[in-house]
Amino acid sequence: MNSSPRQRRKIIGTALPAAVLMLVSSAVAVQSVGPAAAAETTLRAAAAKAGLFFGVAASPNRLYPIVGQEFGQLTPENDMKPDRIATSSGGLQNTGGADTLVNHAQSNNMLVRGHTLVWHSQAGALQGASQATLNTFIGNAINRWGSRIAYWDVVNEALEDNNTGRRRNQWPHTMNRDANGDGDFFDAGDTDVIRDSFIRAKQVVQAGGYTTKLCINDYDVEGLTVQGGTPNRKANALYDIVRNYRQYIDCVGFQAHFNDNPNSIITDDLQANIQRFADLGVEVHLSEVDIDDDLSNNDIGAGQAENYRKVVRACLNVAKCTGITVWGISDSESWRSSERGLLFTGGNGSYQKKAAYHAVLDELNKGRGSVTPTTPPVTTAPPTTPPVDPTTPPPTTAPPTTPPTTGCSATVSLNSWTGGFVATVRVTAGTAPISGWTVRLTLPSGTTVTNTWSANASGTSGTVQFSNVNYNGAVSAGQSTEFGFQGTGTATGLTPVCTAS
């Protein structure tokens, strides 16, 4: 084909059949023309183009070529757990499997998630260890692989089952002490294995100059609600932990083992929950995905491929959802093989793609699309100073100052979808510190609050009131704190009124 560039553009600009277009573009070096770039053919490439990783849990005896071809990230399924590598005094042993996996990842250009340092299960010789011994182990493990581990699950599965919103009451969480008896472990004088393990891990990362990011990981924390619209208290508790210890926590893993347990289903508010964690500034990962295809007892939606599509889309729509990891390659080799929750059938290196695989690839190839923007505050108090015209020279004398605002002000930002929304409310103290606050707002008729976090709510429709909980009432002058609520209906045009105490 010897057409001039101008002719080429013309040919391509007219409506030609797709097959001809492909021929033209493969025969000559045409710059990106046409509506869409060619679709990627592997999960890792499609994900990379969309700006996230797509990974897999792996074991040393299953490092088949597919691992590096399809996946851009690797999590050791069992080989970095304390029962494999920890001694009772926090030293390391039997790191061979873990080393093999890290080396394999490195030579295939894959990120590694270290899994996991502090966990009640598979604790091996560390079972019952003190915080000091856990800290020794945390130091040894992080230092062994340094920046070769992109993400470490520092604390795994800290929260109780059955949507209680409480910490587990078994080791290592039995080391927690609530010094003032206020029901949480967030105060000075409290000991908290979560906080203390993250502080130690952060120290080690900083001292070593590593790029490693530190994650907290859990399951049944994916949606804002669980079955029947009940608030997901476990997710809310995780949110409070991340918010309180944000300075040490870089990332959150939602395990995403979706099945038909009432607390493990895929809810429509998955994206909104990912978004509220992302709004704290952490990366969010769907870290251990498998989706039960048990359609005979199916509470989780419309078929496995569609469910995968929905879950992948929820992540793609949040810019800080930076990775998805499936918990194994094929159904038969999965920890829950009876649920057939993965993307391939087959085994021993010979795998066949399922419908779910094609759905995931297709969704990744669509990219992030119109990533839900972090909505600017919908309503704010009237501006205290008029907008400044950039051409106006700065005044030489101080402009008349608005009287100092004591008390507090509040702004709302919304993340809405058809029929529902999440509102994040920012409470800012005026020129004096406050020790408590109440925000009152009036909801449009037909709108109902279904779930609240980081505040006590009274009322669910009409005029509703939110007041501080024990750990976020005190706000220094000019500083802010946030709470959130979820509702059905619409919530545009809210005017929050803040009163301080």
Contacts with ligand XIL by CB under 6 A lie at 77-78, 156, 255, 288, 335
Q: How far is the CB of 155 from ligand XIL (least distance, A)?
A: 11
Name beta bridge partners: 214.
Answer: 152
Instruction: Specify the residue for token string 């829950």.
Output: 336
Catalytic residue among 222, 288, 363, 482: 288
Residues 6+ apart with CB under 8 A from 70: 42, 43, 44, 54, 56
Phi-psi sector, 370: left (phi>0), alpha (psi -120 to 50), beta: beta
Rounded distance, CA 139 to CA 338, Å? 38
| 40 a catalytic residue | no
| 157 a catalytic residue | yes
Catalytic residue among 70, 157, 222, 283: 157
Total count of residues recorded for the chain = 501
Instruction: Please identify the residue of the shown chain whose CB is closest to the bound ligand XIL.
Output: 335
Nearer Cβ to ligand XIL, position 58 or 408?
58
Nearest to 25 by CA among 15, 10, 12: 12
Residues 6+ apart with CB under 8 A from 202: 214, 247, 248
Q: How far is the CB of 449 from ligand XIL (least distance, A)?
A: 32
The CA-atom distances, in angstroms, between 38 and each of 22, 46, 357, 367, 480 are 10, 10, 18, 12, 46
Q: How far is the CB of 327 from ligand XIL (least distance, A)?
A: 6
Q: How far is the CB of 314 from ligand XIL (least distance, A)?
A: 20
Q: How far is the CB of 288 from ligand XIL (least distance, A)?
A: 6
Q: What angle do CA 217, 220, 221 make, to 5 degrees?
A: 60
Q: In this structure, what token pair is assigned to residue 244?
A: 């309180």
Q: How far is the CB of 257 from ligand XIL (least distance, A)?
A: 6
Nearer Cβ to ligand XIL, position 78 or 450?
78
Q: How far is the CB of 213 from ligand XIL (least distance, A)?
A: 17
Which DSSP category does 140 fall into? H
Helix, coil or strand: residue 93: coil
Nearer Cβ to ligand XIL, position 163 or 255?
255
Cis before 116? omega within 30: yes
Spell out the SS3 assignment of 207-238. Answer: HHCCCCEEEEEECCCCCCECHHHCECHHHHHH
Which DSSP category does 481 fall into? E
The CA-atom distances, in angstroms, between 331 and each of 343, 345, 351 are 7, 6, 10
CB atoms within 10 A of CB 59: 15
Q: How far is the CB of 300 from ligand XIL (least distance, A)?
A: 18
Helix, coil or strand: residue 279: coil
Nearer Cβ to ligand XIL, position 255 or 409?
255
Cα 33 vs. chain centroid, distance in angstroms?
35
- φ, ψ (nearest 5 deg) of residue 396: -85, -25
Nearer Cβ to ligand XIL, position 8 or 115?
115
Nearer Cβ to ligand XIL, position 79 or 196?
79
**Active-site residue set:** 157, 288
